[in-house]
Amino acid sequence: MNPAIEIEDAAVYYGATPALLDVSMTIERERFVTVVGPNGGGKTTLFKLLLGLVRPARGRVRVLGMAPGDARLSIGYVAQTPRFDPLFPVRVYDVARMGLIGVGNPGRFRNRRATRETVLTALDAVGLADFEKRWFNNLSGGQRQRVLIARALVTQPEILLLDEPTSNVDIAAEDMILDVLERLRNSMTILLITHYPRVASRFLDLVYCVNRTVHVHPRTEKLDDDLMRHITGLAMPATFSSGAGGLNRV
């Protein structure tokens, strides 16, 4: 079976500016990869490269043994803090169902009952099956993020790409999202971009540092602020302090 992801000596430029250089990596199927790195280091560009949304200026990229654009519908993608119109009239069920839209989707999704079962299964996987009729924009930030994960899961993807899924959510919501990812572990290939040591330290199977190029970090048992600073080469964007109400991000 082909590896989930194979990249050989790839480079991506925005105009004349290099975003990624000399990237080579192979990720086997059903691995959990935590991706860390400084802002502007190319983490999101790496995801766009895997989705076929940007083309490499050189090098070779294969996703599930195919060209990235051909494998796109086998990838679930949760973007970094997508901005939505706060007045857009759409319910949770319809947002999750959006994951099924796309050229090449199997015709079975035209079947209403099958569609409903598929969407509710995905919502159930993120603990939101009872929220199907709620307005998406009335949900909390953490709940919205879980709906977006359900939308990415609805096609039962072979690869799940999550770009900072815990940014802008509180600690309780973060825990719920991480619990969802814990349950998905070993069922598909997951790449998780995060800036937070607390998040990264839950998933230390494989840690990749992206800063123009990709380095595999040696296996570690603990990823704290100091190690994160060492890996990314930058000051931490967030620390944690213990307050009267529990842990707070400051």
- Give the interface with another protein as residue ranges (CB under 8 A): 51, 53, 72-73, 75, 77, 79, 82, 84-85, 87-91, 94-95, 97-99, 101-105, 135, 151
Min. distance of Cβ 162 from another protein in angstroms?
A: 13
Query: Between 16 and 103, whose beta carbon lies closer to another protein?
Result: 103
| Strands 5-14 and 240-243, bridge-based pairing | unpaired
Give Cα separations from 154 to 2, 34, 55, 150, 158 (angstroms).
23, 22, 26, 6, 11
Closest approach, Cβ 88 to another protein, in A, equals 5
Nearer to another protein, 52 or 127 (CB): 52
Q: Identify which of residues 75 and 169 has a Cβ nearer to another protein in the complex.
A: 75
Q: How many Å apart are CA 192 and CA 207, to the nearest integer? A: 10
Least distance (Å) from another protein to the CB of residue 35? 18
CB of 185 to another protein, least distance (A): 22
Looking at the Cβ atoms of 151 and 195, the one nearer to another protein is: 151
Output 98 or 216, the one with its CB closest to another protein. Answer: 98
Nearer to another protein, 55 or 135 (CB): 135
Q: Please state the closest distance from residue 180 (CB atom) to another protein, in A.
A: 18
Least distance from C-beta 123 to another protein, angstroms? 17
Give the whole-angstrom CA distance, residue 102 versus residue 125.
22
